[in-house]
């Protein structure tokens, strides 16, 4: 049996800048594409401090979760790509602010750079 794939689209997160969907619902699984600190209107927040960028990128990813009819407590896995390992504590703090008592599985991956010169990218998997 093949799962039906449904693209998730919301104006509460930035529109895709390439050939991909904001999110894809595959059966009960939601895969959220990497979200950057970009306002829903397309304004890139590359000059914002790391905490603000992290909060916005996570908020964008969670907006897609909600658009799929799911809640943050249904996020099972998160991957955060962070420019510079020195930003790990601030990424952890932003994640804690967003998820509270819920503790999904998570990876923080230090990278040398991200598109548009931003400092963080966030992708999620929810069930």
20-48 tens-digit pLDDT:
999 999 999 999 999 999 999 999 999 99
Residues with Cβ < 8 Å from 127, sequence gap 6 or more? Answer: 28, 29, 30, 74, 76
Structural domains in the chain, sorted by start: 5-126 (3.30.1330.40)
Could you give the CA distance from residue 69 to residue 28 in angstroms, rounded to a whole number?
Answer: 11
Q: Are 80 and 53 in contact (CB under 8 A)?
A: no
Token code pair at residue 33: 């594409």
Statement: residue 3 has pLDDT above 90: no
Average pLDDT over residues 49-53: 98
Which of 125, 103, 115 is closest to 37 using CA atoms?
115
Average pLDDT over residues 64-84: 98
Q: Are 26 and 5 in contact (CB under 8 A)?
A: yes
91-123 tens-digit pLDDT:
999 999 999 999 999 999 999 999 999 999 999
Residues β-bridged to residue 5: 26
Token code pair at residue 32: 């959220």
Place of tokens 């790990």: 88
């Amino acid at each position: 049996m093949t799962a039906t794939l449904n693209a998730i689209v919301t104006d509460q997160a930035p529109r895709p800048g390439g050939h991909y969907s904001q999110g894809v619902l595959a059966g009960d699984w939601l895969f959220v594409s990497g979200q950057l600190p970009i306002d829903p209107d397309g304004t890139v927040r590359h000059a914002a401090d790391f905490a603000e960028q992290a909060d916005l990128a996570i908020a964008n990813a969670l907006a897609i979760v909600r658009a799929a009819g799911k809640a943050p407590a249904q996020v099972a896995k998160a991957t955060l790509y962070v420019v510079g390992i020195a930003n790990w504590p601030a990424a952890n703090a932003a994640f804690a602010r967003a998820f509270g008592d819920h503790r999904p599985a998570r990876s923080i991956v230090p990278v040398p750079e991200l598109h548009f010169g931003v400092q963080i990218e966030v992708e999620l998997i929810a069930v």
